[in-house]
Structure 1
Amino acid sequence: MNQEIILLCLAAFGAGFIDAIVGGGGLLQTPATFLILPQYPVATLLGTVKIPSLAGTTIAAVKYAKQVKFNYKVLIACTLSAFIASFSGAFLVSKINNTQIKPIILVVLVAVALYTYFNKQFGVQQHKQQTITKQVALAAVFGLIIGFYDGLIGPGTGSFLILVFIAALGFDFLGASAHAKIVNMGTNLAALLYFAYSGHILLQFAIPMAVFNIAGSFLGAKLALLKGNKFVRIFFLIVVFGTILRFAYDVFLKA
């Protein structure tokens, strides 16, 4: 038990650090939890990791809120739609074969990585090209899509949110990351409510993991704010590449 908690807490710290900067901490925390606690059902492990994820994301969001100006109309529209969709995705996760969706996501991720790498100005500066009405509408639509994805599959949600805030809504990397944290709080909370209602949470593991996820998130958010957009852009590319490897393994190698 003690060894399991130590390993889980280390994974949670790393996940919190990554999540606070560009999202994608679930790529570390979720597989690690599955590996360390193979004796528990998948739904129980998914429910358990939602507590540290929510805790760490909340701390990062508070840290960003002190230095980044939020667009509250866009934020509310995206968060509300993502919350509803994430709850629906969590409900349907046991009824839909998500392996058919993963090849499509893999292609999208490769395209995102290539575009971000070759477009050096992508997300370095803020570019507002739409009216606030159009931004709110786009935020609500993408909130539904990504929220549902988070509840159904999960890994890379933070990175997809950042991409939407930059490419569709015209934010820079730092602003996109800050807004993504709030939306991700909503998706995590929605999924957590469903898993808690259905009794799929192991508090003896979730609570210490949450403490370490918070510590990692605090450090990650502080570093992102200190280093700025170019650092976040590089970190974004690294995490997207890691996400690509994960999905490529699932699509081509995993039985």
Structure 2
Amino acid sequence: MSRIRLRWHDRPGLAGGIDKDGTRAEELLSLGFGSVEFGTVAAHPQAPFSLAALTARLAILPPRHPDGSAIGIGIGLSPGAAPADLPAQWLAGLLGAWRIADYVSFNLSAQACRPLLAREHLPLLAAAMKSIAAERDRLPRRIPLALKFPLGTEGEPLPDVAAAAAQAGFDALTVVLPAAGGQLSRLARFAALAHRIADGPALVAVGGIRTAVDVGAARAAGAAGVQVHRAFVDAGPDCLRALTGASGARRRAAVLPG
């Protein structure tokens, strides 16, 4: 068995948080990223960033080129939700997103969600992910599932939730590299996780990736793909030049019809 690969991992992706409501969707999808992740949103109608509003905007976009950016939708929890609310809200997120998204990502990296990574919540998360994967398998088309979570810092155990997602049948793990420590130590920890999850989900590294050298180092550590956030905030679309070495014109020509 080999690690899953998804077509959009061949190019850097844009992480969630840049566009939470779809108002910049047409612009961002035209830039040449392998994927653009929208959100994080919640399925609850009173959430500050709602899934329904996002999907309504994405549904009216012009047709995309087959090799254009994939659409990811990040699903979180509504503010104040209890841990017990997570399975129902995540399942509602899948059911509300699958018609529009190329993949759906379930986000545990937000500060408000990090308490859910405590060991006592692992059975709840594992059961929720198994239920989501089973529901996905009943949909008219197979949509890849991703779990986004922080890698944690040196000295902490590697996140148990990674193995639970793999066992549930998730297709990708989006791993948020720690801000502390040098690139070598951060990627050594990532490589240890890649070794532990040797087969199955694609690993996507996000955090502190700004140059083609960073991309190469992440791939050497076991990443199938990378995402960026701060690099785009700081440099805008020009960050892709640093990440890939391609000029803007060459980049767009590679993903848009002639």
Q: TM-score, normalised by structure 2?
A: 0.25
Larger fraction in strand: 2
Q: TM-score, normalised by structure 1?
A: 0.25
Greater RCO, 1 or 2 (C-alpha within 8 Å, sep 6+): 1
